[in-house]
Structure 1
């Protein structure tokens, strides 16, 4: 067996892994990155990017359907899924080629194959033994299935992404990010959609005002959903699937999409054998992402917390800088920005109002909302929704929550507000351009500062 030594050996070439590799080589370190499939991982090939391409196609479909609302006469003749998938693959392939070029230009040693941690400084890939002065575990995540076989009438997101036709009806198990995004796409494409969610609200991790606002919007779009309803079982046959809930309800649809989240991809990777601390498959690392074993770090979806591509990337960059001795700043999990790209979009960062009251005491929390009904740009878009800011009295804004068409584009300022601990007076002083949806942030801040412009 051949043996090679590097400054860093990275096990996984998804967002966390390749971000770590690129930053580390930029800092002058030698890097080997092991990837069983394609560099870019789930996000690029079976997750974020192909999903958002479908959502863009869905947005266009909605615009054509509703064009007369803007005085534009058009005819809608249907969804050409072959062309939609061609558009989708075009975006993915362009991003993939760019990433391959970056990895090569940075002189990252890309090792194709299934790697396994075989020592505190060793990853074995077939006949190759890679020694790392530091090892970074970045093996990603997989679709949870509740023990059901996925791929025929019961789908995971990776199957749903590449359906070559629009189903007439779909039941979606799970009303979180993945579930509501696919519900939005399929409804725009003309399918009948029903979401089954066990918790009291859709997108249950969001601020309750956002959850309720999304539920109202989905009702107006004709998207069916049941909350507080637990799944019992499903049976598939050649023509579709029958879904049963614990309260005795039964649903029949062409497909069932299982969208209950993702689990850490750590099984049979050698982690436990090397003493890596684990909990339900997740790797337990400290706030600086060190596992407590040798010079082994863990990043991305295998570390408890938000399973988001940009969080994974920032963790990869963080670890590269940590290894280089740059002492990078820790980013708190609550302060990672989040966008759900359904229609209407959700953008949030920081604490929900309920969580803020739990942390600081209900008597110490105030909030304000700016509604799209009073925003000119939103009216041009025929958008409904709001921006909500949550603040500690006489202290910083600790939560930014927004719902509405294209509102994800406002997350940048939301992230700065929360992470830089701005207060309402700081924000109300800034000029927000008219006419833009961005104005709603300024108006919510003015309301918090005691000088509301409207109302």
Structure 2
């Protein structure tokens, strides 16, 4: 079979590439061994955020009477709860398939092996293409401890079919923290075992709020612990034994590099395939995008823009990838939005939710906007913890990508009352122009 482009992987990056190229007249084959949608739709963003949305709503409804005097009785129908999650996942996967096909793409089920610059084999059948895009994603990286086969991965944890009575989560990063809080809110007894600090990349003020939130939800956080082995439903560690009905490992991800890539000379590190700023690999005409490439962040929205850049270059453009200002959202309660490079920060400015009118009206918990600027006053970093951080961080991402200064932000005009004013007022406070906090 002959195609213009063979796309290995039907996740965010592969799906986006195929649609963009197909709509511009290219004959595209998408090779996918599982379901269209990849990690994001099937095991990551979608099922995880669905669970967090519903578990947090359940928790908030139970608490709302303490704020507005409303008497509510609420319970969970576990079967319906997880069925709805699967319904959404299946809908989005099917929608992706339909969009690929409607743009002229062909989906080939199976695992791809790269035979050469223009040749791939799937299920024993050869496919030729003028260009290849490697978009094969990543997979969970299990810790090298005895009995790990008795645990489930972060991908499997968000697709379980019932609420367990207790969970042990190995790993205190983003995925581990999200999973722990979700099931704690649903009524599971949860323990996090973390080698280092939980969410160690965050500023201490941010960590303090999220650790208090985890404690409020009943999560037992144990830091500085080394898991040694798993025996049935127990984790034996440097700090004793920890028992759980379900044991989850959330200890990072590794790239899923296709078979044959190294054999034909595609260069890679243990962290992924090496690409240039046009997202071309060491083999001319073969591109790599998404979680499979060597980079710092693995998030779906970054994979999407990489797919756009690679696709346009295949079409004859000369686009270059800019990794400045890639936002990340941690879907905990409260949410956390992070963007930028804290290594460039010379000074921080900060503004609390407790002094924001919209937050006061809504009865929101503690939170704040933190903005880091360099010696020239350019915005280079931000952390936001609190409700709607997932939306607010996008404003800061745009500010960083456009190299805005703290003065540019301070003299902007935002709607009032709105939560976005936590960023505006942080900037104004830098110039002693904010009037909403006591000094």
TM-score, normalised relative to structure 2: 0.94
1:129 aligns with 2:119: no
3-state SS in 1 of match to 2:178: helix
Say whether residues 1:273 and 2:263 are aligned partners.
yes
Q: Is the 8 A contact 2:43 2:159 kept in 1?
A: no
SS at match of 1:393: coil
For residues 117-141 of structure 1, the C-alpha deviation after alignment (integer angstroms, 9 at most, x for no partner) is: 0111111112432212111111111
Residue in 2 that maps onto 1:362: none
Contact 1:8 1:32 in 2 (8 A): yes
2:413 aligned partner: 431
What's the CA shift for 1:148? 6.2
C-alpha distance in 1 between matches for 2:293 and 2:164? 35
The one-character-per-residue Cα deviations of 1:37-90 (angstroms, maximum 9, x if unpaired) are 11111211121101111111102211221121222101133x221111122122
1:331 to 318, 322, 326: 322
The CA distance in 2 between the partners of 1:102 and 1:262, in whole Å, is 28
- For residues 78-126 of structure 1, the C-alpha deviation after alignment (integer angstroms, 9 at most, x for no partner) is x221111122122212222322221111001211111110111111112
* 2:351 counterpart of 1:370: yes
Structure 1 residue 194: Cα displacement: 1.2
Partner of 2:284 in structure 1? 294
The answer for unaligned runs of 5 or more in structure 1 is 358-364
Distance 1:366 1:316 in 2: 35
1:244 maps onto 2:236 in alignment: yes
- For residues 433 and 154 of structure 2, the distance between their equivalents in structure 1, rounded to whole angstroms, comes to 46
Instruction: Determine if the alignment matches structure 1 residue 407 to structure 2 residue 404.
Output: no
In structure 1, the partner of 2:221 is 225
Greater Cα offset, 412-421 or 282-291: 282-291
TM-superposition CA deviations, 1:207-249 (whole Å, max 9, x none): 443233322322233322122222222111xxxx211223x42
The Cα shift of 1:421 comes to: 0.8
Equivalence for 1:27: 24
Counterpart for residue 211 of structure 2: 215
Query: Secondary structure in 1 aligned to 2:263?
Result: helix
Q: Deviations over 1:368-407 (max 9, x none)?
A: 1110111122231422111100001333100121011232
Structure 2: gaps (5+ residues)? none
8 A Cα contact 1:58 1:189, kept in partner: yes
What residue is the counterpart of 2:426 in the other structure?
Answer: 444
Equivalent residue, structure 2, for 1:361: none
Residue in 2 that maps onto 1:173: 170
Counterpart contact for 1:378–1:384, Cα < 8 Å: no
Of 53, 56, 75, the match for 1:59: 56
* Counterpart in the other structure of 1:72: 70
1:386–1:404 CA contact under 8 A, matched in 2: yes
Distance in 2 between residues matched to 1:313 and 1:301, nearest whole Å: 11
Q: Find runs of 4+ consecutive structure 1 residues off by over 6 angstroms.
A: 148-152
Deviations 1:385-443 (Å, cap 9, x if unpaired)?
11100001333100121011232121221111111111111111112222221110100
Q: Deviations over 1:138-192 (max 9, x none)?
A: 1111111224699985211232223222222211111111111111111110112
**Could you say what secondary structure the match of 1:97 adopts?**
helix
Q: Is the 8 A contact 1:121 1:294 kept in 2?
A: no
Aligned to 1:118: 115
Contact 1:169 1:255 in 2 (8 A): yes
Aligned length: 434
Tell me, yes or no, if the aligned pair for 2:357 and 2:417 is still in contact at 8 Å. yes
Q: What SS does structure 1 have at the residue aligned with 2:429? A: helix
- Tell me the TM-score normalised to structure 1 length: 0.91
Paired residue for 1:346?
Answer: 336
Decide which of 263, 275, 285 is 1:285's aligned counterpart: 275
| 2:252 counterpart of 1:261 | yes
